Each structure stands twice: as C-alpha cells, then as structure tokens.
Structure 1
Amino acid sequence: MAFWHDRVSQVLQGDLERRFAAFGVTPSQYRLLAALARHDADTVRGLASSLRLDGAAVTRLADRLQAKGLVVRAADPTDGRSVRLSLSEAGADLVPLLDAEASAHERAWFGSLSFAELRQYKLTLAKLLKRAGDGPDEVWLRRELY
C-alpha cells in the first residue's frame, strides 16, 4: 500500500513540477508564494510553521524567489532583528497564474472522481496524517478541489 501511495505522490508531484516549470518556479516555491499571497505569515518562522518546513528551507526558498524578483525582504519596522517577506509586483502578478495552473492540475488528476469519492479521499488522508500527529485543518477538509 505504501509503495502505491508513494507512486501516486511521485506522479502528481512530477506533473505539477512540469506545469510550474513553464513559469520558472517549483511547487515548493509556489507554496511559499501562495502563503504570502494569502497573508498566512510574513516571517521565516511564521512561514515555516504554515508550510510545515524548517526555517532553513524557507530561507533557501525565499533566497531563490528573491533572486527571481518574486519576493522582497524588508526589515521589520518594529523589530530590527526580524525580516518581513512580501510579494514583489511580479510575484503578486504570478500567483493567480500559478493558482490557475494548480487548479488545472487538480482537475486533470481528480476530475474523474465523484464528489463523494473526493470527500472520502480527503477524509482518509486527514485520518492517516492525524495518526502521525499532523494533518490538514477543517478549512481544507471543507474546501472543494479546483
């Protein structure tokens, strides 16, 4: 079972990587851009928590996105030791395009499932992840795909 679950993950990830490559970003970079667009957080620590990554990984992602002109770093006016991240104009313009591509990806892979099948799949994923002490929030469970 684990082999096939891993295989599905590899196939889905590979397709998403190909789709986002046309925009010059990776799926991980997209996740950071989308988190900034949703205002989930604007510090490395906050983004690490939101994205379930370590701070070093978020810093590397931010470095790459800043080099591409998609993210801007600025000193926190209330705490000189802290840095705030935000989308550049180019980053803000790119996120809706990436969102549309992510939705197309979901439609391509999950569009053949009925609403009931999708709901059950999400509940099953949530149950397995909860057993591991992780998992999506209620908002994700209620959100429809694409």
Structure 2
Amino acid sequence: MTLTIHKDADRVLHWHDRVSQALQSDLERRFGAFGVTPSQFRLLAALARHDADTVRGIAAALRLDGAAVTRLADRLQAKGLVAREPDPTDGRSVRLSLTEAGADLVPLLDAEASAHERAWFGSLSFAELRQYKLTLAKLLQRAGEGPDEVWLRRELY
C-alpha cells in the first residue's frame, strides 16, 4: 500500500497561513515604528472605544485569556500608555484606562491600521472585497462566530 502525503503548497490552509503571516508581519513593522505590537494596539483601541475597562472585560472583548491581557497591560503601563487603579466597587478588580500619551497614540495607530488595510486590500474591486468578506464570514460561521452585516457592506477606511 502506497501512502500519499500531500505537499503543503497543495493545501489551501498553507496559502491562507502565508497571507496571514504576511499581513501580520507588515502590521508588526508598521506598529513597531510606534513602539507597540498589534496585540497592544487591540487593547489600547478597546479602551479608547470603551469596550471594557477591567482585565476580565477586555479579555472577553478581545477573546484572550486574563493572563494575556494582564501581560499586555503590564507592558503598556511600563510604556506609560495605560494606567491601573483599584475598582472602587470591587476590591479584587483593577480598572484600566488610557494615559494622555495612550489616548494621543490610539488615533495614530488606528490611521496606520487603516493604511495597512488599504495597502493590502485596496487593489481589490468592491465586488472582490465583498466576496472575500463573505467567504471569511462563511468560514467563521463554522466556528460559531462571524462579522455583522454592517461590516460586510463597509468599504475600506
């Protein structure tokens, strides 16, 4: 019996991973110029949007575990971008907030994230971008999640 093992390059997942790696590397390079990582930006943006202000809340919003959010907050606090203060209503909880420097940095990072998207996806027509988004949404439905209709209709920023 002959066993056939397919080459990585024959699999869709291989090319999906390559695109994902290239996108992530470019975003890391862009944000590196500001001294933050994409994950740190996600935490800063969540605070700026008021998605949550506790480690538990941020973890839920970003779909990370609490330890990961704590490590991100530690690094951002060391950079002077995030402040911690005890929660006045729950002595076991800590509230996170943006410092002035953090609040000033978020719009710059958000603009860089938009430039990153335009650089990678701006060459697609509206129909191609919509089809790509629909494909992503269909795949994510298998994981029980996915974007909303507004995102599917939105053009690039």
Normalising by the smaller structure, the TM-score range is: over 0.9
> Does residue 119 of the first structure (1) align with residue 145 of the second (2)?
no
Look at both structures and tell me which one has the larger radius of gyration over its CA atoms.
2
AA paired with 2:13? A
Match of 2:28 in 1: 17
Once the two structures are superposed, residues 102-138 of structure 1 have per-residue CA deviations (whole angstroms, 9 ceiling, x without a partner) of 0110110000011111111111111111102233344
The sequence identity of aligned pairs, in percent, is 89
| Matched ranges for 1:13-92 at <5 A | 13-92=24-103
Moved more, 105-114 or 119-128: 119-128
Q: TM-score of the superposition, structure 2-length normalised? A: 0.89
The amino acid that maps onto 2:70 is T
Does 1:136 pair with 2:147?
yes
Task: Say if 2:122 is the partner of 1:104.
Answer: no
RMSD of aligned alpha carbons:
1.2
Q: Write out per-residue CA displacement over residues 54-105 of structure 1, whole angstroms, 9 at most, x where no aligned residue.
A: 1111110000000000000111111111111110000000000001100110
The residue aligned with 1:7 is 18
Residue type of the partner of 1:12?
Answer: L
Would you identify which runs of 4 or more consecutive aligned residues in structure 1 move more than 4 Å?
A: none
Counterpart position of 1:93: 104
Deviates more, 1:52-61 or 1:114-123: 114-123
Structure 2, unmatched stretches of 5+, are 1-11
Secondary structure at 1:41 match in 2: coil
Cα distance in 1 for partners of 2:130, 2:149 equals: 12
Query: Structure 1: which 5+ runs fail to align?
Result: none
**Residues 13-39 of structure 1 deviation map (CA, whole Å, 9 limit, x = unaligned):** 000000000000000000110111011
* Residue 139 of structure 1: how far off its partner (Å): 4.4
1:28 partner amino acid: S
